């Protein structure tokens, strides 16, 4: 494979390639125009402004004083890789594969996932902003060490936000809307039965996200999910994850919560939410 470099004037030079005559002169190919075509009049000619051809800058062409634009980069593909790595790292974090207190380097993780270190580093920077890891200069990223106190504080904050919201929804949302969420509650039970903490964590967040989405408040949903995700991170020195029985008991609270919301029982709603947040998150 030959490397390419861009030269001013809208051409691409293939380094190391020879022309058809074998002279050793690099092959030069035109680059596709980066500027969209100019509008045309009804007769097919380019439109004029007052009968005059507009200046080069107004037509979107390069002038002598400006640099040519670089070739388009595959932004969508790179963003997709970064998102996939971010999701994989989050799953590894919840599953306990990334242990609290340990340092992981971007190149080593990139080799594990079969990608370069760049998307891993970008994903880790996102996790650092969320508080899941911290940057260790010249080494990598250390997984945050969380204790029971932090988990209790997260449960308190989540309850302060979500309990009033759920009580309001219990008064305003008709029973048939709650019935539409029952398949999601049942999905959490199946996920819990698998014994996979990461699978259950994702299903758990999906249920809570659907409930809070009934408010129509996207900012509330985003903040609540961030707190929820943080509550699912493993504790330092603790087990890799709860037992299957604990996961199933936690999932069963989703169905009980729907029943309380349908019945518009504020005391049951309040009690179930506090208990649910205080367990596995």
As a whole number of angstroms, the distance between CA 69 and CA 60 comes to 11
**Rounded to 5°, angle at Cα 119 from 115 and 122:** 155
Other residues' Cβ atoms within 10 Å of the Cβ of residue 152: 12
pLDDT tens-place string over residues 56-113 = 444 444 444 545 545 444 443 556 898 999 999 999 999 889 999 999 999 999 999 9
* Axis crossing angle, helix 75-95 with helix 117-130, rounded to the nearest 10: 60
Predicted pLDDT at 56:
45
As a whole number of angstroms, the distance between CA 115 and CA 52 comes to 53
Strand order in the sheet with 140-143: 103-104, 140-143, 133-136
Residues in the chain: 281
pLDDT tens-place string over residues 37-60 = 444 444 444 444 444 444 444 444
Other residues' Cβ atoms within 10 Å of the Cβ of residue 208: 21
> Strand pairing partners for 143?
133
Q: Which of 9, 13, 53 is nearest to 34 (CA)?
A: 9
Predicted pLDDT at 202:
95
Which residues are CB-contacts of 275 (< 8 A; sequence separation ≥ 6)?
253
pLDDT tens-place string over residues 234-267 = 887 655 556 788 899 999 999 999 999 999 999 9
Write out the two tokens for 262. 């349908």
All domains in the chain, ordered by first residue:
76-143 (1.10.10.10), 148-278 (1.20.120.530)
Average pLDDT, the chain: 78
**Rounded to 5°, angle at Cα 72 from 70 and 76:** 145
Predicted pLDDT at 45:
46
pLDDT at 190 exceeding the cut of 70: yes
Q: What confidence category does residue 36 fall into, taking pLDDT thresholds of 50, 70 and 90?
A: very low
pLDDT tens-place string over residues 209-230 = 999 999 999 999 999 999 999 9
pLDDT at 184 exceeding the cut of 70: yes
């Amino acid at each position: 494979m030959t490397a390419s470099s861009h030269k001013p004037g809208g051409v691409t030079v293939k380094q190391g390639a020879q022309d058809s005559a074998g002279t050793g002169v690099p092959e030069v190919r035109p680059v596709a125009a980066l500027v969209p075509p100019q509008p045309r009049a009804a007769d097919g000619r380019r439109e004029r402004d007052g009968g005059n051809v507009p200046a080069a800058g107004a037509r979107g062409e390069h002038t002598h004083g400006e640099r040519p634009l670089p070739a388009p980069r595959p932004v969508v593909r790179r963003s997709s890789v970064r998102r996939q790595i971010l999701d994989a790292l989050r799953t590894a974090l919840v599953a306990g594969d990334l242990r609290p207190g340990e340092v992981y380097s971007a190149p080593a993780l990139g080799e594990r996932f079969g990608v370069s270190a760049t998307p891993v580093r970008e994903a880790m920077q996102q996790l650092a902003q969320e508080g899941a890891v911290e940057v260790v200069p010249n080494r990598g990223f250390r997984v945050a060490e969380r204790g029971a106190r932090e988990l209790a504080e997260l449960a308190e904050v989540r309850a302060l936000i979500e309990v009033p919201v759920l009580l309001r929804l219990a008064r305003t949302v008709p029973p048939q809307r709650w019935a539409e969420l029952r398949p999601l509650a049942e999905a959490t039970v199946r996920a819990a039965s698998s014994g996979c903490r990461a699978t259950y964590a994702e299903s758990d967040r999906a249920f809570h996200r659907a409930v809070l989405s009934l408010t129509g408040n996207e900012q509330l949903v985003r903040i609540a999910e961030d707190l929820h995700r943080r509550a699912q991170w493993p504790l330092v020195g603790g087990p890799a994850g709860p037992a299957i029985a604990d996961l199933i008991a936690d999932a069963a609270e989703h169905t009980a919560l729907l029943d309380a919301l349908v019945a518009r029982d504020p005391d049951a709603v309040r009690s179930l939410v506090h208990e649910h947040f205080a367990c596995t998150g």
